[in-house]
Structure 1
Amino acid sequence: MQAGGQAAPEVVALKWRSVRALSAEMIDHDMVEAVYAQPRMRQFFPLVSHGSLQFSRCTEFPWTNDIPALFPSAGGGFVVIRMWEPNGSERQQVGWVKTLEEAAALIVAEIPAGWGPAVHGTADDVY
């Protein structure tokens, strides 16, 4: 599927470039770069909300939100939170870690085999 002549991998790459260029007021660049350093994560559509880094398996709203998101922790460190589960439960903490490298690895470890790359379309095209 394509949007404006772009295949989903191109749309995802463009969004990553955009997120990586955001101001420090919007997102901690170290968080973005730690996740971007994980090759598997580069295939998902990144989203930024209130200082958190979230991911979608599709390129258009409504997004999927079943990949754990990364939040800075007020007391230091980082929290990985699953925003939604297919069974309908919401906001489940996956773990708290001290470093961004641990956080990125934890997110990758929580993604089921066979997920990705992001598809062009909405969550309805994924589920």
Structure 2
Amino acid sequence: MAGYVRGSTQPRPRRTGLARRPRRRSRTHRTHRCRLAEPRFRELFPWTGMAELHFSRCTGKRWTWDIPYIGPTKDGYMVQGPLRSQTVGPAATAAHAIAMVAERLPPNCEPAFIGTPDELAAHEEEG
């Protein structure tokens, strides 16, 4: 009979699934949470790729690459960019990494433009 241990009249103990472990937040998730504490980052468009947290001044793909980005390392975080060949430096905590990026925001950094980088460039030329 289904639901009973073989040779017993007692029902099988109900399984509630695998034992639950405390949920570990990823480093990218912690970095996302820290960025919300900085008002200027709430206005930028965040995106992730290859476990890195990037920020764009527009919402459409191919996002802008004029803001440094944060990637995980064995011991914390590495702030790089805006180009892949540029390195800003290591950061022990997500908050420190966000602060390092905040220091290097472009001077014309406004709320994210709804559109592509080409449309953003045309908008900036007009105004």
Query: What is the TM-score when the length of structure 2 is the normalising length?
Result: 0.69
Match for residue 78 of structure 1? 77
Higher relative contact order (CA 8 A, sep 6+): 1
Q: Which runs of 4+ in 1 moved over 4 A?
A: 24-27
Deviation sequence 1:61-89 (CA, Å, 0-9, x none)? 11101111111112x121111143xxxxx
Write the letter of the residue equivalent to 1:50: M
Q: Distance in 2 between matches of 1:63 and 1:37?
A: 23
CA RMSD of aligned residues (A): 2.1
Structure number with higher helix proportion: 1
> Is the 2:27–2:72 Cα contact (8 Å) retained in structure 1?
no
Structure number with higher strand proportion: 1
| SS in structure 2 of the partner of residue 126 of structure 1 | helix
Q: Rate the CA distance shift 1:33–1:25 in 2: closer, same or farther, 3 A.
A: closer
Unaligned segments of structure 1, at least 5 residues: 1-23, 85-89
Q: Distance in 2 between matches of 1:99 and 1:27?
A: 10
> Is the 1:69–1:82 Cα contact (8 Å) retained in structure 2?
yes
Q: Distance in 2 between matches of 1:52 and 1:106?
A: 15
- Work out which of the two has the higher radius of gyration on C-alpha atoms and give 1 or 2: 2
The share of aligned pairs that are identical, in percent, is 34
User: How far off is 1:48 after superposition?
Assistant: 1.0
Q: Does 1:117 align with 2:116?
A: no
Unaligned segments of structure 2, at least 5 residues: 1-23, 122-127
| SS in structure 1 of the partner of residue 109 of structure 2 | coil
Query: What is the TM-score when the length of structure 1 is the normalising length?
Result: 0.69
Aligned residue pair count? 99
